Chain A
Amino acid sequence: MNAVTSSGATDPVPAPGLESRPASPVPTPRQLARTRRRAALARFWREYRKDRRGMFGLVVLAVMIAVALAAPVLASSRGLNPIYATATPNAGPSLAYPLGTDADGRSVLTLLIWGSRNSLLVGLTATLISILIGALVGVVAGHFGSIRARAGRLTDNVLMRGTDWFLVVPFLPLAMVLARTLGPSLGVIILVIGLTSWAGTARIVRAQALAVETRPYLERAKALGAGHWHQMYRHVLPNVMPLLLANTILTVAGTILAETTLSFLGLGDPIRPTWGQMLGSAYEYGVGTGNLLWLLAPGIAVILVVLAFTLVGHALEAVLDPKLRER
């Protein structure tokens, strides 16, 4: 642990009584960067805490993720297997089954808990794919688009035409067709959502990258001989990050809703329960017999999670861009 004082200066002469402390060397640039980053994070957290809705969202998210991670502890996975279901199907709430049972006699609560795992997994992974593609396309298009050479603008144009197609073709039909073709599985859903939702991110990132490209330190980097990859990775990307972070969180909200919709339409994994799949099954088999809990529970869960992500995303945006504060 370095002994850098709060002002960043070093303390070469130990105070009386502390002679045993060794004199600390001048901090390296890396150490300085780390300290500054830590201070920036502390400042960020302090600002974020002031946003009550953001804090609410964060708490809800923490609870959800905890439940998802602790699923094996909270509810036995045997409860997911219809073979072992012994309770009366479509039963109302009871002590053993707080949220009732589904058409197979499985506990809705168990399904809900394990469903949170899959729903969150799909949401987060699909978002990861979407953001990776979107950021890559956006940074590359923005970087090469600001080069004066023909080839640069051509790259930008080609990438943007491709992005435009993904923006113009509506998400749901495209996702439906791809999911139907590639088969019903969680992996397919993740892939499909990821591959069809990156266009919006790409647009936003490209706009930001173009703005960053005009800044002087990029010119300096080029003059010093930095290659394209170095410029993009070391200079453009870090400056696009804050925008990207908020966009990511908001995208998760969208991907979870997308998964819910696709699963409801019967395109999801029939074996691994997600909240969307529960809703689909509840609609087909449960509603007719009056089993409302099966329908309401996953719906409310989805609302809570999506709301939480949205609130956190907006709070992040507000903290990172002071102009958006106090909304």
Chain B
Amino acid sequence: MSVILDGARSSGLARTLAVKVVSAVVTLFFVLVCNFFLFRVLPADPAKNLTHNSALTASQLAAINRTFGLGLPLPRQFWNYLVQTFHGNLGRSFVNQLPVAQLIGQALWPTILLVGSATVLSTVIGIWIGIRGGWNRGGRFDKTSTAFVNVLYAMPDFWLGMVLLIAFAGSALRLFPDGGMHNFTGGSTGLAGVADVLWHLALPGLVLTLVYLAEYSLVMRSSLIDELKADYLLTARAKGLRDDLVRRRHAVPNALLPSVTLIMLNLGFVISGAITTETVFSWPGLGRLSYVALNAPDYPTLEGCFLLFSAAVILANLIGDLLLTVFDPRVRQA
């Protein structure tokens, strides 16, 4: 094995990263193309939606079709679609004629807030549970936590949402609001506004946190158990290290690697997985937007949401891949 000098190694790292980014962009483009065809294949009739099925003259129909660019031949439509998307124009909603990009922009932040906070909490708690359970496998903590987590994993997230909603926001205990992101009365700003949002965030955030931490803790536990068989842990103990140091310094960093990858993979799907929770709690995020758009049916909005969901997955995959490249020296070989 040749000697790898520092300079060469860092350039190898940069090259690996560049390759991965390019690959992600290519995948995104591929998704763009496929989404286009998916939504052109589905029957779409914006005119019917906009006019709620009332009778239209041919010229009125033609006018509507022109506005939405539906009368053009397919290749032309495809080209328009690509150009528009690159410029950030995702079309207009069939329902309210607002630019889809704007609708998505408005819905993006609530979703990120909800999903982001749930992810952070569930990652920290889930990993802690997984480590504690896996290190003393078969112990009391392990048995109870695994049982608890398995049940959580088997639970439909919207059901958990509904149960919590009834329990805490129902007429009995009005501890939390039963939906939405802000209070209807008054547009409270500043600290009061933040507190208001947090109050509304509590229940849906709790639901998602519980649902995610189930998987994360299972993955971390299994990862750590795999790592426990490693020989280098024997070396670490032979050096005279205390048990918790062996775990913290040697076992956990190695066990975290596959966990981080899996968690990042999951993160991508988390954005679209919040659809049901957002619906149950009337949280004005992307999930709710796509659900409402589905029922309309509002295809441009759906298409835009689709694109964003797929982009989220690709981005999450890329970040997970990059994280692994940065933290696992074995992967770095160009």
A: residues with CB less than 8 A from B are 161, 164-165, 168-174, 176-177, 180-181, 253, 257, 260-261, 264-266, 276, 279, 283, 287, 292, 295-296, 299, 302-304, 306-307, 310-311, 326-327
Contact = CB atoms under 8 A, between A and B. Distances in A.
A265 B279 CA distance: 9
B43 interface: yes
Given A161-B30, A177-B38, A310 B156 contact: no
A303 B34 contact: no
A171 B306 CA distance: 11
B269 A170 contact: yes
21 contacts: A161-B30, A164-B30, A165-B34, A169-B35, A170-B268, A170-B310, A173-B272, A173-B290, A177-B302, A261-B156, A261-B158, A264-B156, A265-B294, A279-B159, A279-B162, A287-B162, A295-B162, A299-B163, A303-B154, A306-B154, A310-B153
A307 B151 contact: yes
The SS class assigned to the A binding surface is: helix
Interface residues of B, number: 44
B31 interface: yes
Contacts of B27: 164, 168
A172 B273 contact: yes
Interface in B92-107: none
Contacts of B317: 168
B16 interface: no
Nearest to B172: A290
Given A165-B34, A173-B305, A327-B222, A302 B156 contact: yes
Contacts of B295: 180, 266
Interface in B294-312: 294-295, 297, 302, 305-306, 309-310
Interface of B: 27, 30-31, 34-35, 38, 42-43, 137, 150-151, 153-156, 158-159, 162-163, 166, 222, 225, 268-269, 271-273, 275-276, 279-280, 290-291, 294-295, 297, 302, 305-306, 309-310, 313-314, 317
A299 B159 contact: yes
Given A177-B42, A303-B155, A310-B154, A169 B31 contact: yes
A26 B306 CA distance: 64
Nearest to A314: B150
Contacts of A253: 154
A142 B232 CA distance: 34
Nearest to A165: B34
B42 A168 contact: no
A176 B294 contact: yes
Given A165-B34, A180-B295, 17 more contacts: A164-B30, A168-B317, A169-B34, A169-B313, A170-B271, A170-B272, A173-B302, A173-B306, A180-B294, A253-B154, A260-B156, A265-B275, A279-B158, A295-B162, A299-B155, A302-B159, A310-B153
